[in-house]
């Protein structure tokens, strides 16, 4: 089945060129200087001055960088568990019987969550370590984004999972274990006015520490020391498998067809490895490879129009946050503001507080305006849940195939030239965009500000006993809008800092209860 049947006529390319000029003027961060720019590399910031310099030169400047080193400790926490998260040890470190949703390869790659299957973590790792399964990828466990999600209970869900390889979860922490701890803590000396609902705490922790990392709430820092100025949104585990062989079969290149919306190339990449597809996130990113290696190809938010996205771009904020038009190419899209917050959710929050966006008392006119936005958002979500086309990628994905970014890896010269001509005709502005290339291995980290487009090619570990498995952890942070360490989030309503207070109380509750 053809997916994202989006191609560009000369008229559409003209509209994209006009949008490109507008977008370029909106973004105020760093832009690569050359057609191919190599990533800036720094040592892990440790001293107060190094952290201040990093904040000014990369976070405020919205500039990606490669960091040599991995945090050895966080406030009161043990070192980042690099050894424990290696392919050979991870199934014994995290509970193998936890049920997860796992992406399957679609169109030659991963990234859109188009098709997922349920299995236990132990089953997943067994399949990868056998070295025969290259079509599975563990990614973010978004319940609402899982097209196969249902309202099953845990018992019903377990009946749907493959029965082979079920193992005991050992002494690992689960939220079922935390229930009694929460109750005991609530019976202690906390003020009733300060208590949050137990289920809210659990939800907050599970959103921040995505399964199966939920079991590391007590030991894994919610953010590294040098990024304590940023508000963490999620910590994710990424595990897949790839041979990484440069001479890997390129039979898929025979599907090349200049008339196809994706040239018949899908998300395959020449030279081995598996691709995420070119896309951007809506949060700042700290990416930490644990096993295997990664190749990042990056494009600035100022080149968003050149990326030929699935969605129609509405606005690119100075921070790099990209907002889309809510239409048939992004039917479930909810409008964002410059700090990545969903506008309707902010208005719900302010209505509860009886406040306006400047921190003042909400008047009748503003209240009516907020209610209209919230109602429109709700009704549109209800309608479009039903009408969303099958197989539609998120609006933040590019329609340009990963192979076009790596034509230098195509060995057949004539085929390479044919693909180049076809791609320059279909996506002419894409070839004008400056890029940054970054190669990452264990011991490195990548800081990537929000809105930066990135295609990630993953290569397996060279260890013959590791099954070609690659492992990474990433932190997502709320995009900053302020320019000083004392005022990183400078919105007067302080939506994100106040929202994070609930998460901080949940973390404190869980960690205190386990002592």
Q: What is the pLDDT of residue 386?
A: 62
Q: What is the pLDDT of residue 237?
A: 95
In a domain, 188, yes or no: yes
CA-CA-CA-CA dihedral for 241, 472, 481, 46, to nearest 10: -150
Nearest of 265, 279, 277 to residue 397 by alpha carbon: 279
In a domain, 42, yes or no: yes
**HSE value, Cβ hemisphere, 13 Å, CA-based, for 19:** 21
Question: Looking at the chain, how many residues does it have?
Answer: 515
Residue 65: give the domain boundaries. Answer: 10-79+174-331+389-513
Q: What is the pLDDT of residue 300?
A: 97
In a domain, 423, yes or no: yes
Q: What is the pLDDT of residue 228?
A: 94
How many C-beta atoms surround the C-beta of residue 225 within 10 A? 16
How many C-beta atoms surround the C-beta of residue 324 within 10 A? 21
In a domain, 110, yes or no: no
| Total of domains in the chain | 1
In a domain, 356, yes or no: no
Q: What is the pLDDT of residue 51?
A: 96
How many C-beta atoms surround the C-beta of residue 453 within 10 A? 26
Cα–Cα distance, 21 to 19 (Å, whole number): 5
Q: What is the pLDDT of residue 387?
A: 60
Domain at 206, CATH number: 2.60.120.650
Tokens of 73: 């400790």
Nearest of 241, 279, 245 to residue 471 by alpha carbon: 241
Residue with tokens 């019976």, as numbered in its chain: 187
Q: What is the pLDDT of residue 16?
A: 83
Cα–Cα distance, 298 to 302 (Å, whole number): 12
Cα–Cα distance, 131 to 470 (Å, whole number): 12
Cα–Cα distance, 310 to 312 (Å, whole number): 7
Q: What is the pLDDT of residue 276?
A: 87
List phi, psi (to 5°) of 129. -70, -20
In a domain, 47, yes or no: yes
Cα–Cα distance, 265 to 260 (Å, whole number): 9
Nearest of 161, 90, 100, 102 to residue 133 by alpha carbon: 102
In a domain, 221, yes or no: yes
Written as tens digits, the pLDDT of the chain (515 aa) is 333 444 556 667 777 888 888 877 789 999 999 999 999 999 999 999 999 999 999 999 999 999 999 987 555 566 788 899 999 999 899 999 999 988 887 766 666 555 778 999 999 999 988 876 777 888 888 654 433 333 343 444 444 455 443 333 333 333 434 444 444 444 444 554 455 578 889 999 999 999 999 999 988 999 999 999 999 999 999 999 886 554 456 778 888 988 888 888 888 888 888 888 999 999 999 999 999 999 999 999 999 999 999 999 999 999 999 999 998 889 889 999 999 999 999 999 999 999 999 989 999 999 999 999 999 999 988 876 666 666 678 999 999 999 999 998 888 899 999 999 999 999 999 999 999 999 999 999 999 999 999 999 998 877 766 778 999 999 999 999 999 999 999 999 999 999 999 999 999 998 887 66
In a domain, 97, yes or no: no
Distance set, CA 184 to CA 197, 207, 275, 341, 514 (Å): 14, 23, 47, 34, 11
Q: How many angstroms from the chain centroid is the CA of residue 263?
A: 26
Strands 36-38, 435-440: pairing kind: parallel
Q: What is the pLDDT of residue 246?
A: 45
Residue with tokens 């945090």, as numbered in its chain: 71
């Amino acid at each position: 089945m053809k997916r994202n049947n989006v191609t560009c006529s000369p008229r559409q390319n003209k509209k994209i060129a006009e949008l490109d000029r507008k977008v370029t003027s909106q973004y105020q961060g760093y832009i690569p200087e050359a057609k191919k720019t190599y990533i800036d590399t720094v040592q892990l910031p440790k001293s107060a001055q190094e952290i201040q310099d990093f904040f000014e030169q990369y976070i405020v400047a919205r500039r990606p960088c490669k960091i040599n080193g991995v945090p050895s400790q966080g406030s009161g926490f043990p070192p980042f568990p690099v050894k424990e998260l290696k392919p050979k040890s991870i199934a014994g470190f995290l509970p193998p019987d936890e049920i997860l949703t796992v992406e399957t390869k679609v169109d030659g790659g991963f990234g859109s969550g188009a098709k997922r299957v349920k299995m236990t973590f132990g089953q997943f790792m067994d399949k990868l370590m056998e070295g025969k399964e290259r079509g599975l990828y563990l990614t973010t466990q978004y319940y609402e984004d899982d097209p196969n999600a249902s309202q099953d209970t845990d018992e019903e869900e377990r009946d749907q999972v493959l029965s082979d390889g079920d193992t005991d979860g050992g002494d690992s922490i689960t939220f079922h274990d935390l229930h009694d701890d929460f109750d005991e803590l609530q019976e202690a000396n906390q003020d009733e006015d300060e208590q949050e609902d137990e289920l809210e705490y659990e939800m907050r922790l599970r959103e921040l520490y995505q399964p199966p990392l939920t079991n590391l709430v007590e030991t894994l820092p919610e953010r590294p020391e040098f990024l304590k100025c940023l508000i963490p949104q999620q910590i994710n585990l990424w595990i897949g498998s790839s041979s990484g062989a440069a001479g890997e079969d390129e039979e898929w290149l025979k599907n090349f067809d200049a008339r196809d919306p994706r040239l018949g190339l899908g998300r395959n990449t020449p030279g081995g490895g598996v691709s995420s597809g070119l896309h951007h996130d809506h949060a700042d990113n700290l990416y930490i490879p644990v096993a295997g290696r990664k190749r990042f190809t990056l494009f600035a938010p100022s080149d968003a129009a050149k990326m030929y996205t699935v969605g129609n771009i509405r606005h690119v904020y100075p921070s790099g946050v990209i907002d889309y038009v809510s239409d048939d190419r992004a039917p479930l899209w909810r409008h964002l503001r410059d700090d990545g917050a969903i506008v309707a959710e902010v208005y719900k929050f302010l209505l509860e507080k009886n406040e306006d966006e400047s921190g003042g008392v909400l008047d009748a006119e503003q209240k009516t305006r907020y209610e209209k936005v919230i109602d429109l958002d709700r009704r549109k979500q209800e309608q479009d849940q039903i009408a969303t086309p099958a197989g539609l990628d998120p609006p933040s994905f590019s329609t340009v195939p990963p192979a076009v970014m790596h034509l230098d890896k195509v060995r057949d010269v004539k085929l390479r030239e044919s693909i180049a001509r076809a791609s320059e005709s279909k996506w002419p502005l894409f070839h004008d965009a400056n890029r940054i290339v970054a190669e990452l291995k264990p011991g490195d980290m990548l800081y990537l500000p929000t809105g930066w487009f990135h295609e990630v090619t993953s290569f397996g570990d060279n260890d013959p006993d590791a099954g070609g498995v690659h492992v990474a952890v990433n932190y997502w942070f709320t995009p900053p809008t302020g320019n000083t360490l004392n005022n990183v989030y400078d919105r007067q309503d302080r939506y994100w800092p106040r929202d994070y207070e609930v998460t901080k109380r949940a973390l404190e509750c869980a960690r205190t209860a386990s002592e």
